[in-house]
Amino acid sequence: MPGLEDLYREIILDHYRSPRNRGELPVPPATRVEGFNPLCGDEIVIFLSVANGAVEDIRIGGQGCSISQSSASMMSAVVKDKTVAEVHRLTNAFKAMMSIHVGGDDHGDALPDPDVKLGDLEALQGVVKFPVRIKCATLSWNTLAQAIDEAMASEDP
């Protein structure tokens, strides 16, 4: 039986207690997208500004458990200034860590790139032993993907 220590690494609790990039961005120019985890009621709000194909700024709002909040916090730190393509690779790598099958199928996703470094996010690895929590951990990433889609759509002419 996996223990609670596998799930709640210190770095997770740290991000939970002191979340990075909390707040809002003015909309527009930023994009605002909400995400919901119907299982446990977690709600996340992502404010995203994309410029020249890269994440210019990001802010996180909403309420959630330590896993969803810390995942969002770590994500916000790592995606800032990354290009959309890099964010896509990070997302795939993160989902692969969560045992979510991505890429290589007919949806046109690339296979996860083994060279992508997840850094702090690796602390979330233990989540995979608690399958119910995977949805908590991926909520912010799915919401980010949607925010990027919307931001890119409004960038395009």
Partner 1 sequence: MSHSLDVAAVKADFPILDREVHGGRLIYLDSANTSQKPRAVLAAMEHYYANSNANVHRGTYLIAEEATNALEEARAKVARFIGAPASQEVVFTKNATESLNLVAKAWGRANLRAGDVVVLTELEHHANIVPWHQLHDELGIELRWLPITADGHLDLTEVDRIIDGAKVVSFAATSNVLGTMLPVRRLVDAAHQAGAIAVVDASQHVPHAATNVAAWGADFVAFTGHKMLGPTGIGVLWGTSEILEATPPFLSGGEMILNVTKEGFTTNDIPWKFEAGTPAIAEAIGLGAAVDYLEGLGMDAVREHEVSLTGYALRTLAERFGEDLCVHGPADAAERGGVMSFTFKNLHPHDLTQVFDQHGVCVRAGHHCAKPLMRVLGVAATARASLYVYNDEADVDALADAIAAAADFFSF
Q: 60 near 76, Cβ under 8 Å?
A: yes
- Kindly tell me which residue out of 11, 56, 66, 80 binds partner 1, with binding defined by CB under 8 A: 66
104 near partner 1, judged by CB under 8 A: no
CB crowding 137-156: b at 16 or more within 10 Å, else e: bbbbbbbbbbbbeebeeeee
In the complex, minimum distance from the CB of residue 64 to partner 1, in angstroms, rounded to a whole number: 7
Please give the size of the binding site for partner 1, defined by CB under 8 A.
26
Candidates 19-27, 73-81, 89-97, 129-137; binding stretch for partner 1 (CB under 8 A): 129-137
Decide whether 83 or 146 has the Cβ nearer to partner 1: 146
Nearest-angstrom CA–CA distance, 114 and 127: 20
126 binds partner 1 (CB under 8 A): no
- For residue 45 the two structure tokens come to 């709000």
